[in-house]
Amino acid sequence: MPLEILLIVVAAGMIGITLMLHLAGQTRAFEIADEETARGEWLRHFPDDEIHEVTLAPGNNAALIRTAQGPGLLWSLGADTVAYHMAHPSARACRKGLRVEIGDFAAPAVTLRLPPEERIRWAARIEGTTP
């Protein structure tokens, strides 16, 4: 089979699979819709943690978790969630929301999509300047 035809067949197959997955609803982002969902997802990542408080982000894409081990951040990444304990976090407003420096080599920073009125409150909570 000529290379040109093979490339067309492979590209058409990849596009077809992507389209079928999208139409079947398999490309939706995970929604952290309520505190119970956030707790469940956090405990899936860290089953031994004791959760004290959950703060949900507007837009259902992230949650700030306070545990006995310290603060943590849970956010949606595609159809799954990612969770990290934050040792020495810092947060600053950016064009798209709030840029959080987690202090972990594996995930150095994440940008949370937050409305302007929530950015200051979340930054203060992440950095520990409010109770």
* Locus of tokens 């987690």: 102
Find, among 43, 41, 34, 67, the residue nearest to 53 by Cα: 67
The phi, psi pair for 93, rounded to 5°, reads -70, 145
Q: Which two tokens stand for residue 81?
A: 């969630």
Domain boundaries, the chain: 1-28, 35-127
pLDDT at 71: 87
Q: What residue type is 68 in one-letter code?
A: A
Residues 34-52 have pLDDT tens digits of 999 999 999 999 999 999 9
Give the predicted TM-score (pTM) of the model. Answer: 0.76
